[in-house]
Structure 1
């Protein structure tokens, strides 16, 4: 694999940070200075500042993201999620939850598991509570559940249930950019509140806005079983 992916999989740093370290001539592979995008093997001797790089302990976190925080590991983006958490080790968000939305986002340094969670073909469930700006009827729910044309593609069928005259629960198995907002807009509705409450087997329940907790061993095992 490429060296940036190896560093990310090991939980050491991002691919961008890997390139920075390489530019600073702090990384060697089998005694030679590394180059950006270099292909490496796990058995290669890779040193950073003359110290052998080894896989770090994996970290798995469930965060209740507030509105206004951007799900990016890019530090120069204002109100980014990394600065918000201020976690002492390298972690990154698994997927995204748009700035205007709140709720569950997973944070980890496990690039392998993150990639499996994000693979569209795996059709992992994500559950949301959504409030729109006016009451909706049953035709709205039927149309949303059957799939909507957005961004040149038709969304997958999904599960909807009514909570109140203007609020519904929706379970998706894909993650198009601002998908729920765009689906609702196609029927003339504006989303005024969107909260993600579940990703696969991980639930938001019990985590206050802006707070986080580590996943339990059982939760991580269940995620890995889904991966398999």
Structure 2
């Protein structure tokens, strides 16, 4: 695999940070300075500052993200989720939840765990509670459930149930950019509140807005077996 992915999978640093370390000549592969994105094997002798890559414990965090926080690890973004979390060890967000939305998001230092969740073929469920700007009828529910043409593709069929006249629950198995907002807009509705309340087997109950907890070993194992 590429050296960036290897260091991310080993929970050492992000793929972008790997490039920075390479540019600073702090990494060697079999005694040679590597290139960004270089292909490596796990059997290669990879040193950081002339020392073996330290083995770090895997971390798995469930955060109830508030509105206004951006799901990026980039320090160039003032509202980045890493500064907001202020976790003492390296972690990164698994996927995204747009700045105007709130709710559940995972952060981890386990690249393989993140890849398993994000692989579209795995069709992992994510559940949302959504409020729109005006009451909707059954035609809206049925149309959203069947799939909607957005950004040149038709969304997969999904589960949509009414909560009240302007709020619904929706369970998706894909994660197109701003998918629910774009789907709703197709029918003439604007999302005014969007909260992700579940990812696979983990729900947001008991985690206040802006707070987080670490996933249990049992929860992580269950996610990995989905």
TM over 0.5: yes
Aligned to 2:66: 66
List aligned pairs for 1:129-168, cutoff 5 A. Answer: 129-168=129-168
* TM-score scaled by length of structure 1: 0.97
Displacement after TM superposition at 1:161 (Å) = 0.8
Q: Which runs of 4+ in 1 moved over 2 A?
A: none
* TM-score scaled by length of structure 2: 0.98
Displacement after TM superposition at 1:203 (Å) = 0.8
Give the 3-state SS of the residue equivalent to 1:75 in structure 2.
coil
Displacement after TM superposition at 1:7 (Å) = 0.5
Aligned to 1:3: 3
Displacement after TM superposition at 1:124 (Å) = 0.6
Count of equivalent residues: 226
Mapped partners of 2:157, 2:150: distance in 1:
13
Mapped partners of 1:199, 1:187: distance in 2:
26
Q: What stretches of structure 1 of length at least 5 have no aligned partner?
A: none
Mapped partners of 1:215, 1:128: distance in 2:
20
Mapped partners of 1:141, 1:112: distance in 2:
36
Aligned to 2:208: 208
Give the 3-state SS of the residue equivalent to 1:33 in structure 2.
coil
RMSD: 0.8
Q: Which moved more, 1:214-223 or 1:54-63?
A: 54-63
Displacement after TM superposition at 1:197 (Å) = 0.4
List aligned pairs for 1:2-41, cutoff 5 A. Answer: 2-41=2-41
